[in-house]
Amino acid sequence: MGDIFTAASVTSSGRPVLVENEVECNLLSNVDLEPEDGTANSFVTLKSGVLILTTHRLLWLSSAKAVGIPLSSITHIFSSKRSIKSVFHSPRFRFQVSAAVITVVVRGKGDWEVFLTKLWECWRARAWEETTTSVVVSRESTSSGSGVGSGSGGFYGSDGSVRMVGVAGILRKEQQLWESTDKSLQDAFQDLNALMNKAKEMVLLAEKMRQKLLSTSNSTNQDEMGSKEEMQDWLLSVGIASPVTKESAGALYHQQLSSQLADFVRIPLERAGGMISLIDIYCLFNRARGTELISPEDLFQACSLWEKFDVPVMLRKFDSGVMVIQNKAHSDEEVFARLRTLVAKPEALRTGISASDAAMTLGIAPAMAKEHLLTAESKGFLCRDISPDGFRFYVNLFPEISPNDLYLVKDHGIYGAWIRAASVSG
């Protein structure tokens, strides 16, 4: 069995981890893999998993197991026979891997004929060979870019061109890069199909630029470092190399999208402090997807599906209707603690805080800050003040005031602190 299958790694939310330049093409649910009777290298039948076709591999995933078959090891794909029997059977097709023949039994509803066609296409396209060459090319270009001042060879490269030396070299390299980028962009925008074909290249380009920035950052001054780091961030956010699309996932579209989204939001969530609005994620996610944009409705569907799966993130709806994505581990307590410190400052005691004040302290968007303030209010930590000046929040003094003696002020406690702060201004 070890001969036929290779182990395939999956992400925490059950999405396959793809190798460089590998793109998902199609997907069938509820698929069995059976060994052909009488062939050598027999294996135990794999029951009801998801079969994913990528440009490089066939991946079979179930909750317990994940295996892959490199397309390069497939020696033959049998054309499916049509017989009376096949009317009553679940659809099936066969292919040969070295000496073993594997039968794919499709019990789910997916369009297996399309899948088979795609399998043929991918098998013939031999994408795994392209990868090897392009990686070699990109390595060469990086090494010549980073070879500045490294003393490897003279002024001339092996092909006779002038090597890049010093600042001028960097500038020239930069210009060359720009020219080629420009060309790529022009090609890419000729029409949408061309853009789709170019997508992979663009991601590669982004990666290359990042590499180059990394390698040259030593030789530039500190001022530029900040902007370069930012540039790197931008470039990093360019690519999901293999976005889940309706075409590739079919009926399982939302489910797969949901898993991919769960993997994707991890990093933006961390940066945003554990909570991020749905709108922000929509923008980030679609930018990362590049051309295969999803609709807001699809995003919402994908997020709603998280409830059913074991993922570390969740969709949360505030009372006001604002929806956000947050880590399951994210706790409101921490936010409240920071809000409480904020409102207890003398200035805030006197004038209260607005959503934008809270946003600055918490380092989040004002809309989100307002949600936190409203939640804190509903828990009784804060209370509101609506005036012509606007909507502000104050620390809640009401519990400390005695209704039996309206003039009683305890020395300790926030009520006393508030009176002292308020009298300073008065």
Residues in contact with another protein by CB under 8 A are 352, 377-378, 380, 383-388, 392, 394, 396-399, 401, 403, 406-407, 409, 415, 418-419, 422, 426
Cβ neighbours for 414, distance < 8 A, ≥ 6 positions apart: 344, 349, 395, 397, 400
Three-state DSSP state, 297: helix
Q: DSSP secondary-structure letter at 308?
A: G
Q: Give the residue with the Cβ less far from another protein, 113 or 385.
A: 385
Q: Give the residue with the Cβ less far from another protein, 262 or 382.
A: 382
Q: In the bound complex, what is the minimum distance in angstroms from residue 90's beta carbon to another protein? A: 58
Q: DSSP secondary-structure letter at 329?
A: T
Q: In the bound complex, what is the minimum distance in angstroms from residue 278's beta carbon to another protein? A: 25
Q: In the bound complex, what is the minimum distance in angstroms from residue 420's beta carbon to another protein? A: 10
Q: In the bound complex, what is the minimum distance in angstroms from residue 265's beta carbon to another protein? A: 31
Separation CA 20–CA 35 (nearest Å): 30
Computed on alpha carbons and rounded to an integer, the radius of gyration of the chain in Å comes to 29
Q: Give the residue with the Cβ less far from another protein, 68 or 352.
A: 352
Q: Give the residue with the Cβ less far from another protein, 321 or 399.
A: 399
Q: In the bound complex, what is the minimum distance in angstroms from residue 398's beta carbon to another protein? A: 4
Three-state DSSP state, 81: coil
Q: Give the residue with the Cβ less far from another protein, 317 or 384.
A: 384
Q: Give the residue with the Cβ less far from another protein, 290 or 352.
A: 352
Separation CA 48–CA 34 (nearest Å): 11
For helices 192-216 and 127-146, angle between their N-to-C axes, nearest 10 degrees: 40
Q: In the bound complex, what is the minimum distance in angstroms from residue 315's beta carbon to another protein? A: 25
Q: Give the residue with the Cβ less far from another protein, 74 or 355.
A: 355
- Cα 190 to chain centroid, rounded: 28
**φ, ψ for residue 41, nearest 5 deg:** 60, 40
- The CA–CA distances, whole Å, from 350 to 59, 164, 360, 396, 409 equal 63, 63, 19, 13, 17
Separation CA 396–CA 381 (nearest Å): 6
Q: Give the residue with the Cβ less far from another protein, 139 or 379.
A: 379
Q: In the bound complex, what is the minimum distance in angstroms from residue 378's beta carbon to another protein? A: 5
Q: Give the residue with the Cβ less far from another protein, 223 or 411.
A: 411
For helices 253-271 and 278-289, angle between their N-to-C axes, nearest 10 degrees: 110
Q: In the bound complex, what is the minimum distance in angstroms from residue 343's beta carbon to another protein? A: 11
Quick one: tokens of 127?
A: 């994408």
By the 10 Å C-beta count (0-12 exposed, 13-18 middle, 19+ buried), 338 is classed as middle
Q: In the bound complex, what is the minimum distance in angstroms from residue 394's beta carbon to another protein? A: 5
Cβ neighbours for 180, distance < 8 A, ≥ 6 positions apart: none
Separation CA 341–CA 42 (nearest Å): 67
